[in-house]
Amino acid sequence: MSCQTTAQAAELPKVNESGAGEKNPKVVAFLCNWCSYAGADKAGASQLPVPQELSVIRVMCSGRLEPTLILEAIQKGADGVMVLACHPGDCHYKEGNLRAFCRAELLERMLPQLGVDPRRFSFDYVSAAEAEKFSRITTEFVERVRSLG
Ligand code: FES
């Protein structure tokens, strides 16, 4: 009986000194296999800081992402969603990243109407060589989402 109580207590969220619950945001990052996923891999190999709050989903092209997948991630509890694509002109499927950019712009405009703060969404370009950029923008995005509560 006492072991069960201890196990339940261990699952309670941490409480800081002010009494408010400390919450680590859940951030889903959709990464293109050919660029940003490789950039993330390089960031890890280079031991650059990558936020632990990031849940990476590898896709073969950012153009594969329908806005409904992004909304589904938010609906299922993500506090923030990132889409990281190949730079313009570098998409392996010609213009998938341009389609993704257009969808991202539309989605950003739609989010407030759906009751979602558009600052909880981010679209950017990261190449396989941009490990430092990957580290920086993921860290900044997680902090931004954390500040939104
Ligand atoms: S292959 Fe990377 S965005 Fe299309």
pLDDT tens-digit profile of 81-139? 999 999 999 999 999 999 999 999 999 999 999 999 999 999 999 999 999 999 999 99
The predicted pLDDT at position 6 comes to: 38
Tell me the pLDDT of the chain averaged across its residues: 88
Q: Are the beta carbons of 113 and 61 closer than 8 angstroms?
A: no
Q: How far is the CA of 62 from the centre of ligand 1 (A)?
A: 5
- Which CATH architecture fits 23-148? 3-Layer(aba) Sandwich (3.40)
Question: Ligand 1: which of 59, 62, 103 to mutate, judged by most atoms within 8 Å of the beta carbon?
Answer: 62
> What atom in ligand 1 is closest to the CA of residue 62?
3
The predicted pLDDT at position 22 comes to: 55
Residue 12 — pLDDT band, cuts 50, 70, 90? Answer: very low
The set of residues, in sequence order, having a beta carbon less than 8 Å from that of 49 and lying 6+ positions away, is: 135, 139
Tell me the whole-structure pTM to 2 decimals: 0.84
Residue 23 — pLDDT band, cuts 50, 70, 90? Answer: confident
> What atom in ligand 1 is closest to the CA of residue 61?
4
pLDDT tens-digit profile of 50-78? 999 999 999 999 999 999 999 999 999 99
> What atom in ligand 1 is closest to the CA of residue 100?
3
| Model confidence at 13: pLDDT above 90 | no
The predicted pLDDT at position 106 comes to: 96
Rounded to an integer, the average pLDDT of 18-31 is 76
Q: How far is the CA of 30 from the centre of ligand 1 (A)?
A: 11
Q: How far is the CA of 112 from the centre of ligand 1 (A)?
A: 27
| Ligand 1 binding pocket, CB closer than 6 Å | 32, 34-35, 61-63, 85-86, 91-93, 96-97
Domain map (residue ranges) of the chain: 23-148
